[in-house]
């Protein structure tokens, strides 16, 4: 019998087009930041266990101290014609560039990073953004420079990417990598022109890397430093944070659940409530309120009275492929067994918090006084402080129920608030405090008992 070999080789142009089709521009840039942070993790041997990057103790039993190492810097800039990301996170070795970094997927011998999972993020990002790509990277000892003219390379049957070997930093400075991309794809050029894109991207960076920013790395976006957007989990003397830990098939899982710290106006923001999911320190989901994290399945469906709930599910593994994130790292692999088991435990850990919030509100959604006092005492906690806490169930101690209270709200002009602060001599008072003071004043003067 005659055997014929069918040609199954990919057509490069079609492959590249399909390869980037379902990726957003935000995903691309976050993937490039991931690569920089991965390089930093390798260079500085950073431990991202518990995703919370625990504060180290001083060895004398006196609690945590801060690391004094200067953070690395990642600068992201773009304009109408050029996108650039530059870091000083350690650089890429020539051998790795030749054998691993530019492969579409990791080889079996590859040393996988903590945030780089599938070996496609860098390639997918740069090919999605534009058609003229220049990459230069230097370690202390060596470096390379690569130029990829995508339009001509996509028609070349060869899959190799030539590069020039150059010198390293030549001194004691840590190396780094720069990626410059021009000749944008049409849809990317339009996104960069959008007046809202920069703000949205900044918010995503602030939240996705909130456990890394200002501790191990500083990220700037068009010259402005991105400040971390911390997870608003809180506790007090009267209310703790629930914690549970378990291991499953090479993945360590840590779950936290508790109440949120209220904002400056004394309110809970529904936009901040829900489950936060992190894999090796990188947030994959933030403030999730859907079935993806168990709402309406193992837990009650999210409703406004649960806006004080905050949960954190952290997954850690030295083998990132075992973690339950999808290829964009902005969603979860629902088929992951470790996540399915974790989601069941998430519902159990979070249930006492939801019960507290159920008891806090009457049928008219007004806050009951005992629970409201507990809620007002909640202060935001650095999650790293909870890493040494043993497993515990959420508990909140409140006084016996008293008279049911109703929240009084009304709008006032900012100019009117300024007049009130001036008259009272209380320039730092919040609008909420002024409202309470004026209401009490009215009761005393107009409604004496």
Mean pLDDT, residues 274-280: 93
- Flag whether 405 is in a domain: no
* Same domain, residue pair 129 and 243: no
Query: How do residues 175-196 score in pLDDT, each as one tens digit?
Result: 999 999 999 999 999 999 998 9
Mean pLDDT of the chain: 85
Kindly state whether residues 381 and 322 are assigned to the same domain. Answer: yes
Distance separating alpha carbons of residues 78 and 180, to the nearest angstrom: 10
| Domain edge (last residue) among 202, 225, 248 | 225
Q: pTM, whole model, 2 decimals?
A: 0.80
In a domain, 401, yes or no: no
**288, pLDDT greater than 60:** yes
CA distance 274 to 313: 11
Residue 427 lies in a domain: yes
pLDDT band at 65 (very low <50, low <70, confident <90, very high): very low
Would residue 267 count as lying in a domain?
Answer: yes
Q: Could you tell me the residue range of the domain that residue 321 belongs to?
A: 233-386
Same domain, 180 and 45: yes
DSSP assignment of 231-257: --EEE-SSB--EEEEEEETTEEEEEEE
Same domain? For 160 and 281 the reply is no
Q: Do 313 and 333 belong to one domain?
A: yes
Whether residue 11 is contained in a domain is answered as no
Helix (H) or strand (E) holding 212: none
DSSP 321: G
One domain, residues 195 and 248: no
Q: In the numeric block, which tokens belong to residue 356?
A: 């507290």
Residue that is last in its domain, among 178, 206, 225: 225
pLDDT at 57 over 60: no
Cβ atoms of 333 and 342 within 8 Å: the answer is no
Classify residue 266: in a domain, yes or no.
Answer: yes
Strands, E, within 153-292: which ranges?
164-167, 176-184, 217-221, 224-225, 233-235, 242-248, 251-260, 274-279, 282-288
**Bigger pLDDT: 240 vs 50:** 240
Q: How far apart are CA 65 and CA 59, in angstroms?
A: 10
User: What pLDDT score was predicted for residue 63?
Assistant: 44
- Considering the domain architecture, whether residues 208 and 238 belong to the same structural domain is answered as no
Asked if 35 contacts 122 with a C-beta cutoff of 8 angstroms, the reply is yes
Residues 169 and 290 in one domain: no
Instruction: Map 24-74 to HEC letters.
Output: CHHHHHHHHHHHHHHHHHHHHCCCCCCCCCCCCECCCCCCECCCCCCCEEE
CATH of the domain at 145: 3.30.565.10
In a domain, 408, yes or no: no
Token match 């590249």: residue?
Answer: 16
Range scoring the smallest mean pLDDT among 111-125, 163-177, 334-348, 380-394? 111-125
Q: What is the pLDDT of residues 336-384, one digit of tens each?
A: 899 999 999 999 999 999 999 998 886 666 677 778 888 888 888 888 7
Residues 185 and 265 in one domain: no
Q: Residue 58 above 50 pLDDT?
A: no
With a CB cutoff of 8 Å and minimum separation 6, the contacts of 80 are 189, 192, 193
Which of 207, 225, 243 is the endpoint of a domain? Answer: 225
Token pair for residue 138? 């230097």
- Whether the pLDDT of residue 400 is over 70: the answer is no
Contact of 371 with 356, CB cutoff 8 Å: yes
Residue 398 inside a domain? The answer is no
Reported as a single tens digit per residue, the pLDDT across 80-109 is 999 999 999 999 889 988 888 888 766 666
243 and 211 inside one domain: no
* Per-residue pLDDT, 116: 63
pLDDT of 260 strictly over 80: yes
- 302 CA to centre of own chain: 21
CATH number at residue 378: 3.30.230
Contact 276, 286 (CB under 8 A): yes
> 76 and 179 share a domain?
yes
Do 40 and 173 have their domain in common? yes
Q: Does the pLDDT of residue 390 top 90, yes or no?
A: no
Q: How many domains does the chain fold into?
A: 3
SS3 439: helix
8 Å CB contact between 341 and 297: no
The mean pLDDT value for 297-309 works out to 92
């Amino acid at each position: 019998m005659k055997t014929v070999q069918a040609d199954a080789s990919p057509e490069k142009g079609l492959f590249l087009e399909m390869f980037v089709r379902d990726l957003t521009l935000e995903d691309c840039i976050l993937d490039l930041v991931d690569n920089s942070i991965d390089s930093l993790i390798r260079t500085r041997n950073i431990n991202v266990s518990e995703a919370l990057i625990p504060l180290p103790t001083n060895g004398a039993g006196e609690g945590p101290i801060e690391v004094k190492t200067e953070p690395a810097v990642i600068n992201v800039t773009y304009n109408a014609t050029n996108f650039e990301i530059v870091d000083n996170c350690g650089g890429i070795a020539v051998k790795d560039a030749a054998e691993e970094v530019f492969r579409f997927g990791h080889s079996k011998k590859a040393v996988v990073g903590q945030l780089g999972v599938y070996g496609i993020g860098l390639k997918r990002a740069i090919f999605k953004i534009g058609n003229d790509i220049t990459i230069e990277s230097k370690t202390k000892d060596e470096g390379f420079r690569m130029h990829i003219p995508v339009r001509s390379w996509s028609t070349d049957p060869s899959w190799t990417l030539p590069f020039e070997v150059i010198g390293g930093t030549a001194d004691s400075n840590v190396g780094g990598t720069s990626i410059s991309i021009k000749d944008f794809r049409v849809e990317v050029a339009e996104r960069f022109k959008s007046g809202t894109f920069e703000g949205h991207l900044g918010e995503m960076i602030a939240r996705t890397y909130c456990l890394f920013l200002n501790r191990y790395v500083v990220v700037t976006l068009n010259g402005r430093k991105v400040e971390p957007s911390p997870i608003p989990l809180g506790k007090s003397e009267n209310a703790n944070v629930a914690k549970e830990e378990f291991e499953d098939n090479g993945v360590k899982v840590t779950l936290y659940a508790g109440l949120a710290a209220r904002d400056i106006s004394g309110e809970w923001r529904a936009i901040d409530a829900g489950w936060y999911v992190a894999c090796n320190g990188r947030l994959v989901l933030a403030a999730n309120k859907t079935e993806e994290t168990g709402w309406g399945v193992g837990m009650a469906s999210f409703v406004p009275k649960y806006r004080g709930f905050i949960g954190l599910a952290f997954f850690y593994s030295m083998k990132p492929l075992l973690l339950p994130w999808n290829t964009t790292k902005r969603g979860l692999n629902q088929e992951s067994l470790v996540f399915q088991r974790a989601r069941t435990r998430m519902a159990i850990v979070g249930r006492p918090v939801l019960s507290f919030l159920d008891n806090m509100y009457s049928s008219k959604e007004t806050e009951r006084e005992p629970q409201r006092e507990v809620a007002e005492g909640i202060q935001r906690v650095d999650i790293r402080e909870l890493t040494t806490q043993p497993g515990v169930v959420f508990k909140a101690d409140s006084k016996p129920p008293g008279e049911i209270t109703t929240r009084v709200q009304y709008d006032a002009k900012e100019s009117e608030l300024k007049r009130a602060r001036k008259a009272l001599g209380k320039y730092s008072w919040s609008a909420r405090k002024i409202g309470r003071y004026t209401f009490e004043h009215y009761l005393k003067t107009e409604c004496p008992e």
